[in-house]
Chain A
Amino acid sequence: MGQPLVQTIHRDPALFWWILLPITVVMVLTGILRHYAMILLQTAPKKQELPKIRQQRALVRGINLRGNANVLSPASFQARKAYMVSAFQEGKFLAEPDARGKPRPNPMSDPAAMEGMMGMMKGNMAMMIPQTLIMGWINAFFSGFVITPCSLAISRHLANRCCPTVKLPFPLTPQFKSMLQSGVGTRDLDVRWVSSLSWYFLTLFGLQPVYNFILGSNNSANNVTQQMAMANPGAGLMGPEQDPDKLFLSEAENLEVLEHRWILDGIEDRLIAKMAA
């Protein structure tokens, strides 16, 4: 092989106006629409009941005591520790003291968990339905396109399938072929040509910055990643699947074994040394 041929495909300039631009505009608009649809579909987060709040914050208080115990004088730390440990062990802060020791109910039967799942379903639907529609639309309208006289022999062949609509202004390695020319079954076509279906995929995954610009950074226009992250809500501190009683007991144990060091011990000398320096 000598010099690689510079491929030129004489495209109809109207391709730009009738394919590239519509796809892009439609994609941006769907994103915006999806953002507002998501806002409408969102249900306000359910209010926690007072005992639940108390249970969670009591645990945080225990964690705080463990983490920052060194500000307390030994006497006051011991008093607090004794109180917290016994309260934790007795389950004094539990939201449902009766449910203590019983196995946790199946999360599927919990109405609160179901609600969360419904919310997720709604989000997924808002993502899937427009995608399916647009993909069908692109396939229906833009793939059977015949471009006017093409100089290359291959163009005859690809014109039936999916037409290259845009040429990227920079060279790319052949690995990008599957990404940029989906639906075009040619080996030799320069990777820089992009088919309309591929353009759709590029915009689908690459429009996040545009949405950020239009809708603000906190948008739900293109929330593929958000959906992934949301799959496991509240798995952190007191998720529905964790037994609060167990958490309290382990926290009590943590407090028991904590070695207490008072930060104010010898502060006078420390301060004098600091000021002298």
Chain B
Amino acid sequence: MAHANLLTPPARIPPQTALQLSQKAALVLSSAPTSSLPWPLSLLFSRETPETWAIHENLLLAALRTGDDAAARQILDRLTTRFGAYNERMIALKGVYDEALAKDDKDLEKVFNDYEKVLKDDPTNISVRKRRIAVLKSLGRTADAITALTVLVENSPTDAEAWAELSELYASTGAWGQAIFCLEEVLLMMPNAWSAHAQVATLHYLSSSASVPALTLALRHFARAVELNDSYLRGYYGLKLVSQKLLPLLSESSGSKRNADEDDVAPPKLQSVKKLEEIATAKLGEIVRKYSASKKSQSGYYEAEIIAARELLDRDGRSER
């Protein structure tokens, strides 16, 4: 894993990294971000840059995550003195802080009511809208969260984050069709995001793991993910899993002539699926081998993923024997 950096933290922060990040709080807090000189001089000799505040913001999130509430409070105060309490972003950050410190559902309800008030004054504050949805989620009101998110994407349909979140919520309720639709919106915005391709594939796979058209789509999206990133473990994992499921179905149906025009996607050729399965197996084996040979922190893979891949390979080996 790359060295944790507060300015550009990784997209996915595992607990250890979060801890590493929040331990930098003392360092950041030890030096004042703004100059202590009187007014005209402070303009000339200011050390603050936009990066200073990006670091503060990321540190705040890391500190809240690791339970360092005192440091979080200090950072929040700094940000508030700099940007004022009514800054759009500050309202959202303050909300994050309140949410993290909420002890029970009652506290969360209170935060939720605050958000409602803010939104009544300014319905365009998208970040507060998102926080409100997050509170709904942590209160367990998934249906309400979905409704709120549909309103959000209705008003701001270019928000990939919101679409992805909505997809996840739909998937958690088992509404696969809607979930897939939402993720396809994400794909339309970022057509080369291999993780989004893999996620679409996963949803197709989960939606019906025994029908050929769904599995075909899953296979193709996994293949696309691998095509975009040829060291993408999740892509190979999915490729192998799906093709294993697909092989018996295809060989079954190849005997009886299927009416292919019914589906809008033609099923792949048996040969190709076999080949893909072999490729995925070989690649997974290679990744697992390399991972155990090299230093674990440098390979860029997460241990859990490697364990899952190894397990999949083992299962395969056992069934062959």
Q: Which A residues are closer than 8 A to B by beta carbons?
A: 36, 47-50, 53-54, 57-58, 60-61, 64-65, 68-76, 214, 263-264, 267-272, 274-275
Asked whether B226 is an interface residue with its Cβ less than 8 Å from the other chain, the reply is yes
Q: Which B residues are closer than 8 A to A by beta carbons?
A: 43-44, 122-124, 154-159, 181, 184, 187-189, 191, 197, 217, 219-221, 223-224, 226-227, 230, 264-265, 268-269, 272-273, 275-276, 279
CB of A64 within 8 A of CB of B221, answer no
CB of B156 within 8 A of CB of A57, answer yes
List 10 tightest A-B contacts by C-beta distance, closest first.
A268-B272, A264-B220, A68-B191, A75-B264, A61-B157, A57-B158, A267-B223, A71-B187, A54-B155, A71-B191
**Contacts A50-B123, A271-B276; A263 near B269 (Cβ below 8 A):** no
CB of B268 within 8 A of CB of A264, answer no
**Pick the contact of B220 from A36, A50, A74, A267 — CB < 8 Å?**
A267
CB of B158 within 8 A of CB of A64, answer yes
- Report B156 CB to chain A, min CB distance, Å: 5
CB-CB under 8 A from A53, the residues of chain B are: 124, 155-156
CB-CB under 8 A from A270, the residues of chain B are: 227
15 contacts between A and B (CB under 8 A): A49-B124, A54-B155, A68-B191, A71-B191, A72-B187, A72-B188, A73-B217, A73-B264, A74-B265, A75-B265, A76-B181, A263-B224, A264-B221, A268-B220, A269-B272
CB-CB under 8 A from B273, the residues of chain A are: 268
- Report B265 CB to chain A, min CB distance, Å: 6
Inter-chain CA distance A48–B122, complex, in Å, is: 11
CB-CB under 8 A from A64, the residues of chain B are: 158, 188-189
CB-CB under 8 A from B227, the residues of chain A are: 267, 270-271, 274
CB of A47 within 8 A of CB of B276, answer no
**Which partner residue on chain A sits nearest B263 by CB separation?**
A75
CB-CB under 8 A from B265, the residues of chain A are: 73-75
Inter-chain CA distance A271–B188, complex, in Å, is: 22
**Contacts A47-B122, A64-B158, A267-B220; A74 near B264 (Cβ below 8 A):** yes
**Contacts A270-B227, A272-B272, A272-B279; A70 near B191 (Cβ below 8 A):** yes
CB-CB under 8 A from A58, the residues of chain B are: 157
- Report B91 CB to chain A, min CB distance, Å: 14
**Contacts A57-B157, A61-B157, A271-B223; A72 near B184 (Cβ below 8 A):** yes
CB of A268 within 8 A of CB of B276, answer yes
Inter-chain CA distance A75–B180, complex, in Å, is: 13
CB-CB under 8 A from A70, the residues of chain B are: 191
**Contacts A36-B43, A73-B264; A268 near B219 (Cβ below 8 A):** yes
CB-CB under 8 A from B269, the residues of chain A are: 268
Inter-chain CA distance A49–B223, complex, in Å, is: 42
**Which partner residue on chain A sits nearest B273 by CB separation?**
A268
- Report B54 CB to chain A, min CB distance, Å: 16
Inter-chain CA distance A85–B5, complex, in Å, is: 45
**Pick the contact of A60 from B158, B184, B220, B272 — CB < 8 Å?**
B158
CB of A50 within 8 A of CB of B155, answer yes
**Which partner residue on chain B sits nearest A70 by CB separation?**
B191
CB-CB under 8 A from B276, the residues of chain A are: 268, 271-272
CB of A68 within 8 A of CB of B187, answer yes
CB of B223 within 8 A of CB of A268, answer yes
Inter-chain CA distance A55–B217, complex, in Å, is: 33
CB-CB under 8 A from B189, the residues of chain A are: 64, 68
Q: A36, A68, A214, A270: which has the most chain B beta carbons within 10 Å? A: A68
CB-CB under 8 A from B272, the residues of chain A are: 268-269, 272
- Report A188 CB to chain B, min CB distance, Å: 45
Inter-chain CA distance A65–B246, complex, in Å, is: 31
- Report A81 CB to chain B, min CB distance, Å: 12
CB-CB under 8 A from B154, the residues of chain A are: 54
Inter-chain CA distance A57–B157, complex, in Å, is: 6
CB-CB under 8 A from B184, the residues of chain A are: 71-72, 76
**Pick the contact of A65 from B44, B188, B217, B224 — CB < 8 Å?**
B188
Inter-chain CA distance A270–B268, complex, in Å, is: 12
**Which partner residue on chain B sits nearest A93 by CB separation?**
B157
CB of B188 within 8 A of CB of A71, answer yes
Inter-chain CA distance A258–B227, complex, in Å, is: 25
Inter-chain CA distance A263–B220, complex, in Å, is: 10
Inter-chain CA distance A60–B227, complex, in Å, is: 28
Inter-chain CA distance A245–B230, complex, in Å, is: 44
Inter-chain CA distance A184–B155, complex, in Å, is: 65
Q: A214, A270, A272: which has the most chain B beta carbons within 10 Å? A: A272
- Report A25 CB to chain B, min CB distance, Å: 15
CB of A271 within 8 A of CB of B264, answer no
CB of B187 within 8 A of CB of A61, answer no
CB-CB under 8 A from B181, the residues of chain A are: 76
Inter-chain CA distance A213–B269, complex, in Å, is: 64
CB-CB under 8 A from A72, the residues of chain B are: 184, 187-188
- Report B162 CB to chain A, min CB distance, Å: 11
**Which partner residue on chain A sits nearest B122 by CB separation?**
A47
